[in-house]
Structure 1
Amino acid sequence: MHRRVWDTVRQRLQHNLLVAAQAGLAATLSWVVAQEVLNNPQPTFAPVAAVGVIAAALGNRFRRAIELIVGVVLGIAIGDLLVILLGTGPLQTGLIVFLAVATAAVLRGSGALLVQAGVTAALVATLTPTAPDLELPRALNALVGALVGLFVVLVLAPLNPLRAVRRAADPALDRFARDMTAAAQALASADAERAEEVLDRMRDADPELDELLEVVSAADEVVRLSPPRWTRRRVVNAYRDGVQHMERAFRNSRGLVRRINTAVRDEEPVPPELPAGVELFGEAVRLLNREFLAAREPVRARERALEAVREAGRAYRQGLGFSGAIVASQLRAVASDLLRATGVSREEARRLVRESAEG
């Protein structure tokens, strides 16, 4: 139990260590630039804005940086105006924050903009008694901080896109492949309880899948905007284009496993070719991940997916029950999704799957 907790803590630290380093570096640089270059005596808002950019959602940092700047400027403007009108104190601070957040909401701001406007207004309300007449320096500090934050994440210490994608993709796709193998074994051995366990695991896999989508989005943003990472564009672009189809394949596979469970419980006839096809599809998922990360054309993954379709076609011709026929049909659908993930067009994927099913 303690080992599992430690492993979880270690993994979280590994995943977020770069973000912590980026935040510390950005806070330091933004403070130095605001105080030493711009001669602002109170550079508080610079590191606040810099850290806000670093902490923004992966894959949306540029857009979030704009929102953060707007939120800071809005909070400063409303905070300074209301401090002049209302003065300072606990009740005034609460009212100032309320009005800043409400104004951001009226402007249809996102959660990031709302939070930043409220936080900035609170800082203005609490700092004004000790540092008045700093409206323009505060806005400049916020702008400097946001720009420094972007500079750190895009130039000085950018995310390693392939390492990040590998760290997220390996467990997610390996789990997907293992679940397909386990589902095939449950179908071959007519083990309904095991099929139900596989389905439960797949239902619990959404956080890993969401993390993979987020990391691929972040990697795509880095290779588009970060000059040191431009050489990784081709590999990351392939993953970006393929991951949406793999997400669809994963969600469709849950329906496939659900039907496997039903077929087993109803004691339908199951030719050995049907579980073989499901297992081959799991192998195709594993091969796709390896070939993408090795920057190779995913030829083997395509071949294995089409082998899965051929096995499903043979099983169908031997005779399947109602749920078994649906398993064969869904196997063709998820194989088509995987082919699309490898870069095959919709029409070509349909043609290949149709020919393999008939062959």
Structure 2
Amino acid sequence: MLRRLFDRLHPALQTRVRRLRATELAVLQCALAAGLAWFLARDVVGHAEPFFAPIAAVVCLGVSLGARLRRAVELVAGVSVGILVGDLLISVIGSGAWQISVVVLLAMTTALLLDGGGVFTLQAGTSAVLVATLLPPGGSAGVNRFVDALVGGVVGIVVMSLIPADPVRSARSDVAKVLDELIASLHLVARGLTDAEEAPVLEALRRARSTQGSLDSLRANLAAGRELARIAPLRWRSRQRLAQLDATATPLDNTARNLRVLARRSLAAVRDHEQVEPRLVAQVEGTAAAMATLRAAVCSAREEVPELGPAALQLRQVAAGLTSDLGASGGLSVRVVVGQLRSAVVDLLRVAGASRVSALASLPPTVEHPAVPPDVENLDR
């Protein structure tokens, strides 16, 4: 019985262990920064109870990369606004329930008018509450708390710089997740079109739609990675790799959008019993194979910028076979599938480093251009 219970819990435990391993460095950073901030604020600066120093360090770092520099600045600014508003008002109107409401209202409104972010506004409100309830107005308590916040913010940034996370790994993982789902989606579409079955295409559509979360995470991790690569000397070498991954974000997003439409129109083609050329199915499978080559290159664990030439060559070979007659025997949905596959291959070539003009030139023309009459040619002479 215990064995069955363990087997049932095992996948959940694995998920939690993976989550811990993914954030263990961030947790270690927070722990070290909190202890160091307390030590500096109490034993070096000389504050008796510098409780806000470790809090500021942890808030600055967080558990994920995030926009830490902005967060640290907002934290200190929020403390300043909260203390200033709290000191001024409480010394005039006194303490009490309605006074706390007024202080918080004015402190958060001031922060918002100063164009503050979420941390800025929230910290202004909480600082005002502490001034109104625990810290007497006037005196040195407000100044000490501001200094503690400054110490904690600086310690957090220093710890992040000296013990930096890998700014490339998270972004690389997001790209891999997106490409894995899109590759699986194309294989399912090919199977559904071959067997004229809805179930594989429905699953393909679900998997293509599931990539949005990873795409959003990719953009957030790229922004955080660029910030970290600027302030952490040990990660300066990652700048080129991050720039290469950053260049993939938009075309990869466009690829996912194209393949979602492709999956929807494939579903319509199956439901409408449209005739599908075996050559079209082969091109869908060929695109998936080229994407697998591209994934192996883009998501390489090596620090230097990967060589994408072989993946680009394979994609160009696929593009050369995407002629307009692939959808001639089918209806509207099949022709849309061909068009979306052409667009997706162009975007994948962009992921592989090709320019848009070069990527478009890899596709066969959709219409044949008529010969220019001799008299028209003479006009150019």
TM-score of the superposed pair, with normalisation by structure 2: 0.85
In structure 2, the partner of 1:328 is 338
Contact 1:82 1:96 in 2 (8 A): yes
Alignment of 1:246-265 (within 5 A): 246-265=252-271
CA distance in 1, matches of 2:97, 2:27: 32
The one-letter amino acid of 2:168's match is L
CA distance in 2, matches of 1:42, 1:92: 26
Shift of the 143–19 alpha-carbon distance from structure 1 to 2, 3 Å rule, reads same
Structure 2 residues not aligned, in runs of 5+: 1-7, 369-381
Of the three residues 91, 94, 102, the one matched with 1:95 is 102
Of the three residues 303, 318, 324, the one matched with 2:313 is 303
1:266 lines up with 2:272 in the alignment: yes
In structure 2, the partner of 1:205 is 211
CA distance in 1, matches of 2:226, 2:289: 27
Shift of the 268–311 alpha-carbon distance from structure 1 to 2, 3 Å rule, reads farther
The one-letter amino acid of 1:306's match is R
Of the three residues 27, 38, 44, the one matched with 2:45 is 38
In structure 2, the partner of 1:157 is 163
CA distance in 1, matches of 2:233, 2:341: 41
The one-letter amino acid of 2:257's match is R
The one-letter amino acid of 1:71's match is G
In structure 2, the partner of 1:110 is 117
In structure 2, the partner of 1:349 is 359
In structure 2, the partner of 1:316 is 326
CA distance in 1, matches of 2:231, 2:110: 32
In structure 2, the partner of 1:137 is 144
CA distance in 2, matches of 1:340, 1:357: 24
The one-letter amino acid of 1:55's match is G
Of the three residues 23, 27, 36, the one matched with 2:34 is 27
CA distance in 1, matches of 2:202, 2:277: 20
Of the three residues 72, 76, 79, the one matched with 1:65 is 72
CA distance in 2, matches of 1:103, 1:317: 61
Shift of the 49–106 alpha-carbon distance from structure 1 to 2, 3 Å rule, reads same
Moved more, 116-125 or 144-153: 116-125
Contact 1:270 1:320 in 2 (8 A): yes
Deviation at 1:290, TM superposition (A): 1.8
Larger radius of gyration: 2
Contact 1:26 1:149 in 2 (8 A): yes
1:192 lines up with 2:198 in the alignment: yes
Structure 1 residues not aligned, in runs of 5+: none
In structure 2, the partner of 1:242 is 248
Percent identity of paired positions between Structure 1 and Structure 2 = 35
Moved more, 199-208 or 233-242: 199-208
In structure 1, the partner of 2:284 is 278
The one-letter amino acid of 2:115's match is R
Q: Deviations over 1:5-47 (max 9, x none)?
A: 2222222222222222111111112222222232233322222
Deviation at 1:208, TM superposition (A): 2.5
CA distance in 2, matches of 1:188, 1:326: 17
Shift of the 354–126 alpha-carbon distance from structure 1 to 2, 3 Å rule, reads farther
Deviation at 1:356, TM superposition (A): 11
Shift of the 232–349 alpha-carbon distance from structure 1 to 2, 3 Å rule, reads same
Deviation at 1:131, TM superposition (A): 10
CA distance in 2, matches of 1:181, 1:344: 25
Counting matched residue pairs gives 357
CA distance in 2, matches of 1:64, 1:148: 13
Contact 1:312 1:357 in 2 (8 A): no
Deviation at 1:262, TM superposition (A): 0.9
TM-score of the superposed pair, with normalisation by structure 1: 0.90
Deviation at 1:316, TM superposition (A): 2.2
Deviation at 1:291, TM superposition (A): 0.8
Shift of the 262–220 alpha-carbon distance from structure 1 to 2, 3 Å rule, reads same
Q: Deviations over 1:227-248 (max 9, x none)?
A: 1011122222111111221112
Q: Deviations over 1:65-101 (max 9, x none)?
A: 2222221211121122233223345554343223221
Contact 1:306 1:356 in 2 (8 A): no
The one-letter amino acid of 2:295's match is N
What is the DSSP-based 3-state SS (H/G/I as helix, E as strand, rest coil) of the residue aligned with 1:312? coil
The one-letter amino acid of 2:342's match is R
Q: Deviations over 1:242-297 (max 9, x none)?
A: 12211121122101111111111111111112122222222333322321233422
Q: Deviations over 1:200-245 (max 9, x none)?
A: 2322332232223222322222223211011122222111111221
Q: Deviations over 1:163-198 (max 9, x none)?
A: 333443333321222122212221222112221122
CA distance in 2, matches of 1:116, 1:126: 15
In structure 2, the partner of 1:47 is 54
The one-letter amino acid of 1:194's match is P
